[in-house]
Structure formats: structure tokens, C-alpha cells
């Protein structure tokens, strides 16, 4: 059953928060996946995902449909929440290179295909943080170019071009089986 996002958002903005759960249900898996692929730790991703939805509920009055889709607004909240998480972490790390984190957290039980993902990680580490972000959002988070453009504040054409060039480059460098795994998982 398709939900009427605009109606639910309007109701939430006037104080009727009963239907916010329907928005939560629609986006929970996407936002969790978006978060997980940036922190690579199940419990951390779960905690951050709850914070993201809490912030969205708390700030629903600030959402403006004329400035982009609700999903893009939600992904921006997610991106900012993840950035804040890394800023407050005690270890000093480069926020734009979160993919480069050490893998000594208990990732093995979180990721079924750890070997393949470790191999893919080697190739993704060669990309710029922006290229990596676009590939992850497009391939694993299945976001449209329009949504990606709204999230990272670039033009849609720029995102398409960067994704296309990056995928072409990865296809040349990666073994075919690994490239297919990247696109299918």
C-alpha cells in the first residue's frame, strides 16, 4: 500500500505525529543500510539510525518540500549524524575517509561475505571520498541521481558523470566476479 508522504508530513508538521511511523517503516531499511555501509558495525548503525529518525521527527517542521524530497532530507540528516558520530569519536580520523577505518571491529559476524567486501574495499579506497560516496549511495543504497545530487549538493548531471566515470574505472581494475558482486550486493 502506497503512502501519501505529503499528507503525512503535513499532519506531522501541525502536531499529529501518529502517522510518522509509516514514514519510518518506509525508510528504515534504506537509512539503516546507508548508515551501516559507513560505520561497518551493526550496533553502531542501529544506534545511529534511531538518532536519525528521532532528529527527523524532532525537526519535521523544518522540512520544506520545495527544497527537495523528503527522502533526500532524511539522507542529509543521516549523513550529518554520521559525520557528527565520527567527530565525537575519541580516535582521530578523517571524516571524509570513513571507509578507511580499521576493520578490527567485529565485522565478521556482521558481514556474510567479508572476503568479497574486503576486496571491494581495496578498490573503493583508491577512489576519492566523493566518488566512494556516490558509488555507495547509487549501488548499495539504490538512490536516484536526483536524490544523490540533493544530498551532496551537486548537480544531477555531475553525479551521473562522476558515477559513470568511476564505474568505468572500477570495471577496468576489478576482476569481473568482484565487480558483479559490488553491483549485486
The pLDDT confidence band at residue 80, using thresholds 50, 70 and 90, is very high
Return the pLDDT at 103. Answer: 47
| Residues above pLDDT 90, as percent of the chain | 39
pLDDT tens digits, one per residue of 138-155: 887 888 999 999 888 899
* Range with the poorest average pLDDT among 11-15, 20-24, 55-59, 108-112: 108-112
- Does CATH place domain 1-105 in 1.10.1740.10? yes
User: Residues with Cβ < 8 Å from 179, sequence gap 6 or more?
Assistant: 170, 171
Q: What is the CATH number of domain 112-185?
A: 1.10.10
The pLDDT confidence band at residue 116, using thresholds 50, 70 and 90, is low
Place of cell 561475505: 113
Sign (positive/negative) of CA torsion 152, 157, 163, 169? negative
Domain ranges of the chain: 1-105, 112-185
pTM, 2 dp: 0.69
Amino acid at each position: 500500500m502506497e503512502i501519501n508522504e505529503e499528507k503525512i508530513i503535513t499532519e506531522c508538521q501541525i502536531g499529529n505525529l501518529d502517522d510518522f511511523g509509516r514514514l519510518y517503516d518506509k525508510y528504515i531499511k534504506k537509512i539503516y543500510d546507508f548508515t551501516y555501509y559507513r560505520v561497518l558495525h551493526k550496533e553502531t548503525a542501529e544506534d545511529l539510525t534511531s538518532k536519525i529518525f528521532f532528529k527527523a521527527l524532532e525537526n519535521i517542521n523544518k522540512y520544506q518540500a520545495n527544497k527537495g524530497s523528503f527522502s533526500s532530507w532524511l539522507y542529509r540528516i543521516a549523513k550529518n549524524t554520521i559525520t557528527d558520530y565520527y567527530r565525537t569519536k575519541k580516535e582521530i580520523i578523517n571524516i571524509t575517509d570513513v571507509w578507511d577505518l580499521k576493520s578490527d571491529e567485529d565485522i565478521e559476524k556482521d558481514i556474510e561475505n567479508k572476503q568479497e567486501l574486503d576486496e571491494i574495499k581495496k578498490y573503493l579506497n583508491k577512489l576519492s571520498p566523493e566518488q566512494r560516496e556516490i558509488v555507495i549511495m547509487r549501488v548499495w543504497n539504490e538512490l536516484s541521481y536526483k536524490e544523490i545530487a540533493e544530498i551532496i549538493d551537486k548537480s544531477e548531471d555531475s553525479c551521473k558523470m562522476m558515477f559513470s566515470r568511476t564505474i568505468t574505472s572500477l570495471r577496468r581494475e576489478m576482476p569481473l566476479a568482484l565487480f558483479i558482486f559490488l553491483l549485486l550486493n
